[in-house]
Amino acid sequence: MKIIEIRPRRKFKGAWVSFEAPGVEPAFAAPDAKQQAIDYACQRFGGRAGEVHVYCDDAATIKSSIVTDGRGQYPQVVAD
């Protein structure tokens, strides 16, 4: 099962990164960067089962997990 992590990245000053693998970690810096990173990660599964871990602002604690069901569907998640 593939896991994608959504974390804040200090290097990019307030940006959120969707970490998929080393070298595959697009950063989103818009005002709704966290939501954009979540949407990107969920779309990357392309119909396969997987999990998205969304971290807190401290980048150390998992705040929530989104599990895709293998049919390309996932619950609508709104970042707060």
Domain segments of the chain as ranges: 2-69
Q: Is 55 left (phi over 0), alpha (psi -120 to 50) or beta?
A: beta
Q: Is the whole-model pTM more than 0.75?
A: yes
For the chain, give the longest Cα–Cα distance: 35
The model's confidence at residue 8, banded by pLDDT at 50, 70 and 90, is very high
pLDDT given for residue 71 in this prediction: 67
The model's confidence at residue 79, banded by pLDDT at 50, 70 and 90, is low
3-state SS record for the chain: CEEEEEEEEHHHCCEEEEECECCECCEECCCCHHHHHHHHHHHCCCCCEEEEEEECCCCCCEEEEEEEECCCCCCCCCCC
Examine the pLDDT at 1 and tell me if it is beyond 70. yes
Retrieve residue 76's tokens: 């609508």
